Amino acid sequence: MRAPGVLTSRGQMFLALGAIVAVAGVVLGYRDVTRIGLLLVILPLLALLLVRPTPPSLRVTRVVTPSRLHPDQQGLVEVQFTNVGTRPTPLFLAEEQFDYALGDRPRFLLPRMVSGEGRKLRYTVRSRHRGAFPVGPITLRRRDPFGLTHVALQLPATVELLVLPHIWDLGSRRVAGQGRGTEGELPQMVSLHGEDDVSIRQYRDGDELRRVHWPATAHRGEIMVRQEDRPARRRAVLLLDSRAGAFPGSGYQASYEWAVSAVASLARHLIKDGFVIHLLTHRTVEDGSAGVQIGLDQALSTLARAQPDQDSSMEALAAAAHSFTSGGVLLISVVVAHDEAELAHLAAVREPGSAAMALVLDPEAFTPGTESRKDLATAQRHTGVLTQAGWQTVLVGPQDSVPASWERLRATRRSGALT
């Protein structure tokens, strides 16, 4: 991308001073003074023409190691510059562009490069906060020898750097399944064709023709049938409250990051325990990926990009969750005790006999100076909407860690009765 050359403060001073001197020479009738004034005016204009921006034929590639970082983990960025043009490139002052959350932006001199020549730049980045950060573009600046003008160009190549949410160790204790239907023990059969083919076996005498699985038959060249007694896999649905209005104003960052970190920790814990998980946020519901089982890497990448949405509502998330709970899965939600009516939509999702758990954030506790009994009573009343519907709930604040809150929730579940 090219930008017009502009005058520096020195160039502007030359231009203004030259105009004044030229006018004074004309008024006073001194030709030599007029010539000096015109020279002062022409000099910055001539420099502006000489450094007229011409995009250099540079190819930029970046490699980030590792490609995904954890909070406070240091990453190495290697930038490769290659002159793919036929002419040598001029000397540039270069600056890498990225969010200051990754650290100070590196500035360096990009030397002249002949055709086919390459240069490498290495620097480190580190972020305390999760997110998806674009690295690039690189801004190139060039000045004329007199410092009267400068030009800025951008090399548009960028790469995305993911900083994952903080993950807490939730212990090694297994999560007991208390659902029905699709929740059960892990299947012992393994297939090369994915989960849909776990229930496929060879045809045996006496099998009904309506059970023939024609795609598998065509693929293997022999008759294959569906196996009716396939063991079910334990499934869990993780729901992240995505309502921007639910999170407190001054405590927004802390409360939302607590929620994201909790969901990420639960995802790793449940997958490690053998669960198939589905992640419900306003984004996954909108793009349709909520209905697809998700692996840990994909879950962490989704949560690294997660941001609250002003237009999201609990009703939409509850409707998406209901399609799972009707089949009997473990539902774990991380929500904010913000609005009774909104939480009532989520409370209605749980069906008798199914397991539903919620880590409920107290919005007032995350806002400094509002920790009163009245505020606590309001949060408890909102949480009661879920508890009365048979949910196992724990009210948490900024002083509560994710592992401790999870243990409290597990204890509540063990002592609670599902109806």
Rounded (to 5) percent helix, strand, coil in the chain: 35, 25, 40
Going from N- to C-terminal start, the domains of the chain cover 6-50, 58-163, 195-226, 235-415
171-227 pLDDT, tens digit each: 888 886 544 444 443 333 333 334 444 467 777 666 667 778 888 888 788 888 776
Cα angle for residues 175, 261, 338 (degrees, 5° grid): 95
pLDDT of amino acid 205:
63
Q: Does pLDDT of 358 surpass 90? A: yes
- pLDDT higher for 159 or 52? 159
Fold of 235-415: Rossmann fold (3.40.50)
pLDDT of amino acid 228:
52
Tokens 């502006």, residue located = 48
Give kind and range of the element (H or E) at residue 278.
Answer: strand 276-280
* CA 337 to centroid of chain Cα atoms: 24
pLDDT of amino acid 419:
37
pLDDT of amino acid 73:
95
Q: Which residue(s) pair with 131 in the sheet?
A: 163
- pLDDT higher for 39 or 55? 39
What does DSSP assign to residue 211? G
Query: Are the CB atoms for 371 and 378 separated by under 8 Å?
Result: no
Can you spell out the DSSP letters for 176-209?
PP---TT-SPPP----TT-GGGTTEEE--TT--G
| Mean model confidence pLDDT for the chain | 83
Query: Are the CB atoms for 407 and 366 separated by under 8 Å?
Result: no
Contacts 24+ apart (CB under 8 A), 85-88: 85/56, 85/57, 85/58, 85/115, 86/57, 86/115, 87/57, 87/115, 88/112, 88/113, 88/114, 88/115
Entry pTM: 0.76
Query: Are the CB atoms for 158 and 311 separated by under 8 Å?
Result: no
Can you spell out the DSSP letters for 112-150?
---TT-EEEEEEEE--SS-EEEEE--EEEEEE-TTSSEE
Give me the mean pLDDT over the 73-89 stretch. 94
Q: How far apart are CA 336 and CA 364, in angstroms?
A: 10
Can you spell out the DSSP letters for 365-385?
TTSTT---HHHHHHHHHHHHH
Q: Does pLDDT of 53 surpass 90? A: no
Query: Are the CB atoms for 203 and 212 separated by under 8 Å?
Result: yes
Cα angle for residues 149, 100, 260 (degrees, 5° grid): 150
Tokens 């776990």, residue located = 198
Domain formed by 58-163, architecture: Sandwich (2.60)
pLDDT of amino acid 227:
62
* 352, 357, 363, 366 alpha-carbon torsion, rounded to 10°: 170
Q: Does pLDDT of 270 surpass 70? A: yes
Instruction: Name 350's Cβ contacts closer than 8 Å, sequence gap at least 6.
Output: 325, 331, 356, 389, 390, 391
For residue 37, the SS3 value is helix
Q: Does pLDDT of 407 surpass 60? A: yes
Q: How far apart are CA 343 and CA 360, in angstroms?
A: 10
Q: Does pLDDT of 257 surpass 50? A: yes
Cα angle for residues 88, 90, 92 (degrees, 5° grid): 140
Give me the mean pLDDT over the 400-412 stretch. 93
141-167 pLDDT, tens digit each: 888 777 888 888 888 889 999 999 999
Comparing CA positions, the residue from 155, 136, 141, 108 lying closest to residue 6 is 141
Cα separation of the two ends of the chain: 64
pLDDT of amino acid 225:
78
pLDDT of amino acid 375:
60
Q: Does pLDDT of 389 surpass 70? A: yes
pLDDT of amino acid 9:
83
Q: Does pLDDT of 12 surpass 90? A: no
93-137 pLDDT, tens digit each: 999 999 999 999 999 999 999 999 999 999 999 999 999 999 999
Instruction: Name 185's Cβ contacts closer than 8 Å, sequence gap at least 6.
Output: 231, 232, 234
